[in-house]
Amino acid sequence: MIHVFRRLLGGGDPLPKVIEIIQQLLPRGSNPGTHGKIDKCPEWAPDLFGVVATLAELSGAYAEPRFTAGWDITAYHYKSPYLDSVEKAAKTWNLTAKPSDDAQRLWEELLTKGDVELGDDEPPAPDWRLTTMHLLAIADEASAGVGFSPKPDRYFATCVYKQHLVLLEHEVAKKPGKAKLELPHLPVSICKMISDVQLCVQPKTNTPQVGCTLRSLTHHLALLPAKGTVASSWLFAYPDEEQVSDLRPLNVLLVPYPYAVRGQDFVPVQDLNKPTSCYFAVEPNWLGNGHSRVDPEQIASFIGTLITAAEREVGTIHAVVFPEGALIDSLARKVARLLAPIAPKLELFIAGTVSDLSVAAEVGAVSDESPVATAPAAVRYLPRNKAYTCRLYKGELLKEWDQSKHHRWCLESSQIPRYHLGHTLDPGHKWWEKIDVEDRTCVFTLVRPGASLAVLVCEDLARFDPVLPLINSIGPSLVIALLMDGPQLERRWPGRYATVLADDPGSSVLTLTCIGMIRRSAPQGQVPQKKIALWKEPGGSAQELQLGNDDLALALTLNPTAVEQFTMDRRSDHSGTRQFRLTAAYNVRVPKEELPGWLALD
């Protein structure tokens, strides 16, 4: 990478020196209260990691033969003595909550070699790369369990257990009697001394077992771009002291609502400044209009009926998922609150939502604090397509958040007749989804000890920038993609992109669409295949999940399986990784006489 920089600079301009990068990342010093001094190794391992991982990434050092040629017994660096030294230094760090003497010595050694340019790797220039890679491994190993409420096992001492649990303070920082938050950049970064406008560091779930990247070198920490590119959040789920086993299943209820989507639900919107530019809005008329809108109590009651029917077969339902655009913002929030007492064992409620101008004031889409508050209300209101997620625990709502879609849907000339929309949208134009894509975020949350979840909306699964680099780096155990799409077939685009994530970083992927769009995509006169979901897990074949004619939902059992992963420098995670396996799928049916009329099943 650094050679590319040199070419871009014309070949003769000097490149940054190692010490300049360190000083840039640690302008306030390596530790709190050091007032700009960097002579001491950072005491918070993610800070050390942020520095050395940046050096390794900019220089591409990790790809050198001495770090990759395991067949060369003489030159290969990652031998048993190296692994022993890394584990010893990490253990000391965890026992004392301070860097070991070896880590301090290596840090001082790196500083003495700091006058070397990043691209100068030829003798007699001092070799700072071995030192950097060694510190990177120590920082990663010393951070084992960070972000996951680690139990004090293996070699975690009580003091380090509490040090790692400082992350939990972000969830309860506003409660009386709590200590001052020690990590100032939460939830977007777990660094103390490195600003989140330079880079971010987050906990990590999966280590890619293929390829040769910086991601392949870490089990526990992920190096991410600055928050201005796309802001990540790492959110805890709920206290896990009552969990009997961290391998207990996750039962998920998929509700492919709406069951009918009309052509009039796609509303054309013209660009007044450029008549050739066409936009469309999705109006959720399946929820009714105005005074006839479906009440949240009705939706919550319907979900409760589905949960009851599903639990007769699979036991406790832990999560309920609706596809892209199924609900309106305000309705989703109200439904979540109503579901809490109805289903006290429910842990997650996830729904694709769309904005509604009639409820904009209610959901806070337009406020005096908005950056565009001086504009007329009709201009200020910018609709969004979101994934709404709510965490529930023992019948109470713990936390809720939105994640906006990062890319607009583009309906091209071939798609308009496929979805039978030619009477609404002119197939002679491209039609872009009318949504706001500003303030890009990606949220990761824990769903089981050692297992994390990320939710994407439709195109975000297929477009690499800006969110997929975060997915690849953190490697969530489970990715749920909410779609407004046709049948979920392995050969179609969701199957292709799900396979990519299952291979690298090793995430299990679940896609979900609605019956309404499956019906619209069926050729005229043909019976649609109700393949509402697609499942792809690491090392397994893609599975197309189908409903029968009278089925309304699908209940899945996902088992978090312990697997052992290795970094590129041969460090084991001691089977600490959890990968979800699909072990059961059950179609949920409710007697027709118990179904509400607003469902619009036909």
Return d(Cα 4, Cα 6) in angstroms, integer.
5
DSSP 355-423: --GGGHHHHTSS-TTSTTTTS-HHHH----EEEEEEEEETTEEEEEEEEE-SS--EE-TTHHHHTT-TT
pLDDT at 449: 84
CA distance 244 to 282: 44
pLDDT tens for 30-78 read: 999 999 999 999 999 999 999 999 999 999 988 888 888 888 888 888 8
**Collapsing DSSP states into helix, strand and coil, what is residue 123?**
coil
| pLDDT tops 50 at residue 24 | yes
Nearest 5 degrees, angle CA 371-CA 374-CA 375? 100
Is residue 146 classed exposed, middle or buried when 0-12, 13-18 and 19+ CB atoms within 10 A define those classes? Answer: buried
**pLDDT value for 331:** 94
Question: 107-116 burial, b if ≥16 CB within 10 A, otherwise e?
Answer: bebbbebbeb
Domains of the chain: 2-203 (no CATH), 250-599 (3.60.110.10)
pLDDT 10s digits, 209-251: 998 999 999 999 999 999 988 899 998 754 444 444 567 899 9
Sort strands 385-393 and 348-354 into parallel, antiparallel or unpaired: antiparallel
Cα separation of 217 and 63, whole Å?
11
Task: Name the pTM for this structure.
Answer: 0.90
Query: What residue has token string 């209820």?
Result: 253
Q: For 539-583, what is each residue's pLDDT tens digit? A: 999 999 999 988 999 999 999 999 999 999 999 999 989 999 999
Report d(CA 136, CA 193) in Å as an integer. 17
Q: Is the pLDDT of residue 265 over 50?
A: yes
Answer left, alpha or beta for residue 450, where phi above 0 means left and psi between -120 and 50 means alpha: left
pLDDT for residue 6: 42
Query: Which stretches within 201-293 are classed as H helix?
Result: none
Cβ-proximal residues to 393 (8 Å cutoff; 6+ apart), any chain = 238, 239, 347
Q: 204: closest CA among 476, 465, 417, 504?
A: 476
Could you tell me what percent of the chain has a pLDDT over 90? Answer: 65
Residue with tokens 């849907």: 409
Express as a percent the part of the chain with pLDDT over 70. 85
pLDDT of 271 > 70? The answer is no
Write out the H or E segment, with its range, that includes residue 124.
none
**DSSP three-state, residue 198:** coil
Mean pLDDT within 135-151: 86
Distance between CA atoms of residues 556 and 585, nearest Å: 5
The DSSP bridge partners found for residue 254 are: 321, 554
pLDDT tens, position by position, 67-125: 888 888 888 888 899 999 999 999 999 888 899 999 999 999 999 999 998 877 777 66
> What's the mean per-residue pLDDT of the chain?
86
CB 51 within 8 A of CB 194: yes
Task: Determine if the peptide bond prior to 296 is cis (ω within 30°).
Answer: no
Distance in angstroms (rounded) separating the CA atoms of residues 507 and 552 = 27
Distance spanning both ends of the chain, measured CA to CA? 57
CB 443 within 8 A of CB 454: yes
How are beta strands 508-512 and 478-482 bridged, if at all? parallel
Confidence of residue 151 (pLDDT cuts 50, 70, 90): low
Give the pLDDT band (50/70/90) at residue 15: confident
If one counts every other C-beta atom within 10 angstroms of the C-beta of residue 599, the result is: 18
444: three-class secondary structure by DSSP: strand
Give the residue, 354 or 171, on which the prediction is more confident. Answer: 354
CA 479 to chain centroid, in Å, comes to: 7
| CA–CA separation, 205 and 577 (whole Å) | 7
Asked which of 143-147, 240-244, 520-524, 544-548 is least confident by mean pLDDT, the reply is 240-244
- Give the 3-state secondary structure of residue 320: strand
| Structure tokens belonging to residue 251 | 């039962």
d(CA 364, CA 490): 39
Q: Is the pLDDT of residue 296 over 80?
A: yes
Q: How confident is the model at residue 420 (pLDDT cuts 50, 70, 90)?
A: very high
Pairing of strands 531-536, 577-588: unpaired
Tell me which amino acid residue 163 is: Q
pLDDT at 35: 92
Reduced 3-state DSSP string for 143-191: CCCCCCCCCCCCCCCHHHHHHHHHHHHHHHCCCCCCCCCCCCCCCCCCC
How far is it, in rounded angstroms, from Cα 560 to Cα 555? 16
83 three-class SS: helix
- State residue 75 phi and psi, 5-degree precision: -90, -20
Average pLDDT over residues 327-342: 95
Q: Do residues 358 and 306 lie in contact, with contact meaning Cβ atoms separated by under 8 Å?
A: no
Average pLDDT value for residue range 505-519: 97
